[in-house]
A = this chain, B = another copy of it.
Amino acid sequence: MGTTGRPRSQAAHAAILKAALRLVAKRGFRAVSVNEIAAEAGVGKMTLYRHWPNKATVVMDALLELIGAETAFPEADSALESLRRQLYLQAAFFRSSRGNLIRSLVSEAQSDPELATAFRDRWLNPRREGVRQNIQAAISEGSLRADFNIDTAIDQLYGSLYYRLLLGSGAIDEQFIEDTYQQFLTGHKARQSVRR
């Protein structure tokens, strides 16, 4: 078997991810070199390349392993309220320095098809699936209609957030989130809201 030899250092693995997260969140992907990440982690450059095939994959893993759960759906009394709160979480995430991770990866993905696929498969689609299930729960609860295209609705909900993050056309503040949520509600709520 391939089980012989010195094992990979989990400490080095974790230190590299942590260093990559810190540096890229603070200064952005392009401004940080692989040498810096390795030095910050107290590790040789070659150790980094033994664990990951390239710089972008390190940052992708840092995003998923260290802060992937930061935008999970919060518990709430209704599916709609959970959706609304998740929008606020996503906005806070985008406003924070960690938003730089998303900006960096989307930027690199424009010229790196493998990274683009990985970003969709590992970050975007799982989150979209969460939103889809939430919306379907809201439909089951009778608070949303059932006759709209869910994918398009998700794009309209989250597209404007990514737009402001990447284009910097305006603040991702509470007013903006509330307006976006209300606009979604206006177009998709059930005509007769179920009451109890």
Q: Which residues 151-168 in A have Cβ within 8 Å of B in the complex?
A: 151-153, 155-156, 158-164, 166-168
Q: Which residues 76-100 in A have Cβ within 8 Å of B in the complex?
A: none
* Identity of the chain B residue whose Cβ is nearest the Cβ of A177 in the assembled complex: B152
Query: Given A160-B156, A180-B156, does the pair A166, B111 have CB atoms closer than 8 Å?
Result: no
Number of copies of this kind of chain in the complex: 2
Partner of A187, one of B158, B159, B160, B183: B183
Partner of A110, one of B104, B162, B179: B104
Q: Is the pair A106, B179 in contact by a Cβ cutoff of 8 Å?
A: no
Report whether over half of chain A's contact residues are helix, strand or loop; otherwise say mixed.
Answer: helix
A163, B183: Cα distance in complex, Å: 18
Is A107 an interface residue when CB atoms closer than 8 A count as contact? yes
Q: Which residues 16-54 in A have Cβ within 8 Å of B in the complex?
A: 28-31
Q: Is the pair B156, A156 in contact by a Cβ cutoff of 8 Å?
A: yes
Is A72 an interface residue when CB atoms closer than 8 A count as contact? no
Please, which residues of chain B bring their CB within 8 A of the CB of A155?
160, 163-164, 169-170, 176
Please, which residues of chain B bring their CB within 8 A of the CB of A180?
152, 156
Question: Chain B nearest CB: distance from A133 CB in Å?
Answer: 17
Q: Is the pair B111, A149 in contact by a Cβ cutoff of 8 Å?
A: no
Query: Given A152-B176, A179-B152, A180-B156, does the pair A166, B106 have CB atoms closer than 8 Å?
Result: yes
What per-residue 1/0 map shows which CB atoms of A118-159 lie under 8 Å from chain B?
A: 011000100010000000000000000000110111011011
Q: Is the pair A159, B168 in contact by a Cβ cutoff of 8 Å?
A: no
A106, B108: Cα distance in complex, Å: 11
Question: Chain B nearest CB: distance from A103 CB in Å?
Answer: 5
Q: Is the pair B162, A163 in contact by a Cβ cutoff of 8 Å?
A: yes
Partner of A160, one of B28, B103, B124, B159: B159
